[in-house]
């Protein structure tokens, strides 16, 4: 009987300590800033409208500040490859901490080392709010400048300047 009580108390103490450590860890690391799902939908709708108005079929990706997708859209007739390129553009922007066109220019000028697997195509832009990165937004399927134009239209719809 005593062993059972001691075991239960030990288990209860261990669970309490684990819970306290978990709560403490959450307090130390606030969640990464990000745009909301509603903002992502609004931005995506505006970007797609810009693409349609110009006759471009695009794949789009919006991620949080850590590069995890929040919202993805592939217009009809767009090859899977364009989604993969759009995803790589957001990864490049998040990893480099700069828009993909700026990253490409910095690599070409020798100001930074290339990131393995990164793309140097225009159309991957960081989303910043109050100077803080809250995500990335990219498009793929047209020329890089056209991809970027569609993304900028989406950004403007949610009040984020490129």
Collapse the DSSP code of 73 into the 3-class scheme (helix H, G, I; strand E, B; otherwise coil) and give the result: strand
- Are residue 51 and residue 7 in the same domain, yes or no? no
Q: To which H or E segment does residue 115 belong? A: none
- Are residue 75 and residue 152 in the same domain, yes or no? yes
Structure tokens at 95: 């990893």
What does the buried/exposed string (b/e) look like for 134-158 if buried means 16 or more CB atoms within 10 Å of the residue's CB?
bbbbbbbbbebebbbbbbbbbbebb
Provide the domain limits for residue 10.
1-30
Instruction: Tell me if 7 is assigned to some domain.
Output: yes
- Residue 162's pLDDT is 77
**Furthest C-alpha separation in the chain:** 78
* Average confidence score pLDDT of the chain: 87
- Are residue 90 and residue 134 in the same domain, yes or no? yes
Contact 71, 44 (CB under 8 A): yes
- Are residue 47 and residue 9 in the same domain, yes or no? no
Collapse the DSSP code of 98 into the 3-class scheme (helix H, G, I; strand E, B; otherwise coil) and give the result: coil
- Are residue 125 and residue 110 in the same domain, yes or no? yes
Instruction: Tell me if 74 is assigned to some domain.
Output: yes
pLDDT along the chain (162 residues), means of 10: 51 46 58 85 98 98 96 97 97 97 97 94 96 96 98 97 82
- Residue 76's pLDDT is 96
- Are residue 42 and residue 25 in the same domain, yes or no? no
Identify the bridge partners of residue 133 per DSSP, sorted by sequence position.
128
Instruction: Please write the tens of the pLDDT for every residue from 87-102.
Output: 999 999 999 999 999 9
Structure tokens at 11: 């288990």
Instruction: Tell me if 100 is assigned to some domain.
Output: yes
Instruction: Tell me if 98 is assigned to some domain.
Output: yes
Instruction: Tell me if 87 is assigned to some domain.
Output: yes
Q: Which residues contact 19 (CB under 8 A, 6 or more apart)?
A: none
- Residue 34's pLDDT is 80
Whose CA is closest to 147, among 68, 76, 64, 90? 90
Instruction: Tell me if 56 is assigned to some domain.
Output: yes
- Residue 67's pLDDT is 95
- If one counts the domains in the chain, the total is 2
């Amino acid at each position: 009987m005593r062993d059972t009580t001691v075991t239960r108390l030990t288990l209860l103490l261990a669970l309490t300590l684990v819970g306290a450590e978990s709560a403490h860890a959450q307090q130390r690391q606030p969640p990464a800033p990000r745009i909301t799902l509603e903002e992502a939908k609004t931005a995506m709708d505006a970007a797609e409208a810009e693409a349609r108005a110009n006759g471009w079929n695009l794949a789009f990706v919006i991620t949080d500040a850590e590069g995890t997708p929040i919202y993805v859209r592939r217009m009809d007739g767009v090859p899977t490859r364009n989604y993969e390129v759009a995803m790589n553009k957001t990864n490049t922007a998040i990893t480099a901490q700069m828009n993909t066109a700026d990253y490409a220019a910095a690599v070409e000028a020798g100001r930074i080392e290339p990131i393995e697997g990164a793309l140097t195509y225009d159309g991957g832009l960081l989303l910043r709010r109050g100077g803080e990165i809250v995500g990335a937004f990219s498009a793929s399927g047209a020329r890089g400048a056209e991809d970027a134009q569609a993304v900028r239209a989406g950004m403007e719809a949610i009040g984020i300047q490129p």
